[in-house]
A and B are shown apart, each in its own frame.
Chain A
Amino acid sequence: NAGVTQTPKFRVLKTGQSMTLLCAQDMNHEYMYWYRQDPGMGLRLIHYSVGEGTTAKGEVPDGYNVSRLKKQNFLLGLESAAPSQTSVYFCASSYSGGLATIYEQYFGPGTRLTVT
């Protein structure tokens, strides 16, 4: 199994450009997440999804949109990139666990985005 994969690994954008980050998981997980990681701030949740066709806002959703058309894929879009969106973006997935309430997240390798 590949686990969680992210494309691309690196990207440089100019202010105002748009792009889509793709996350794919082959573990049949229900939940998927997008985080951004900035120095000294840990990871902050942007958006998440609890199932195909559903999405919800996290801590820092402004400037981002997401879609979950297929269970295995979770897309993160930036419509008009800004320098403040320079960051490392991580996708994660987790199982629902049935009656369990503890969710282990499996992370992808990250996408390093620079907006100039």
Chain B
Amino acid sequence: TQLLEQSPQFLSIQEGENLTVYCNSSSVFSSLQWYRQEPGEGPVLLVTVVTGGEVKKLKRLTFQFGDARKDSSLHITAAQPGDTGLYLCAGAHTGNQFYFGTGTSLTVIP
């Protein structure tokens, strides 16, 4: 049983398009993180959100934590081929144990 479900599982878009990835759970998390993973490598942290309703922007990436701290979204504006990768959300109930989502594999076609 996955605590965190991500949608869509796969996404293939043209360069320049916008997209949104969702991370949903029935559990409340004290913090939620988004990671990006490239083939053959480990995940790399993009952002951490801790407050319900919080919005963080990282260049063309916008992250939002749901008001109830049960869900999150990642929006990418004007996607580029360099955005290609596996996007993972991870939630923590306490500080030291994370539950990862099922992942969204993004391909941006030039």
Contacts and interface: CB of A to CB of B under 8 A. Distances in A.
Interface stretch (B40-48, B59-67, B75-83): B40-48
B30 A59 contact: no
Interface in A35-58: 35, 40-45, 48, 50, 58
Interface residues of B, number: 28
Contacts of A105: 43, 45, 98
Given A101-B31, A110-B40, A42 B45 contact: no
Interface string A12-55: 00000000000000000001000100001111110010100000
Nearest to A92: B42
Interface residues of A, number: 27
Interface string A86-108: 00001010101100011111011
Contacts, number: 64
B65 to A, nearest CB: 12
A9 B102 CA distance: 23
A109 B2 CA distance: 24
Contacts of B94: 101
Interface string B19-41: 00000000000110100000011
Interface centre among A42, A50, A105 (most CB of B within 10 A): A42
B100 A44 contact: yes
A31 B101 CA distance: 21
Contacts of B43: 43, 90, 105, 107
24 contacts: A40-B9, A40-B103, A42-B4, A42-B6, A42-B101, A42-B102, A42-B103, A43-B88, A43-B90, A43-B100, A44-B100, A48-B96, A48-B97, A50-B96, A94-B96, A97-B95, A101-B31, A102-B95, A103-B92, A103-B98, A104-B48, A105-B43, A107-B41, A109-B40
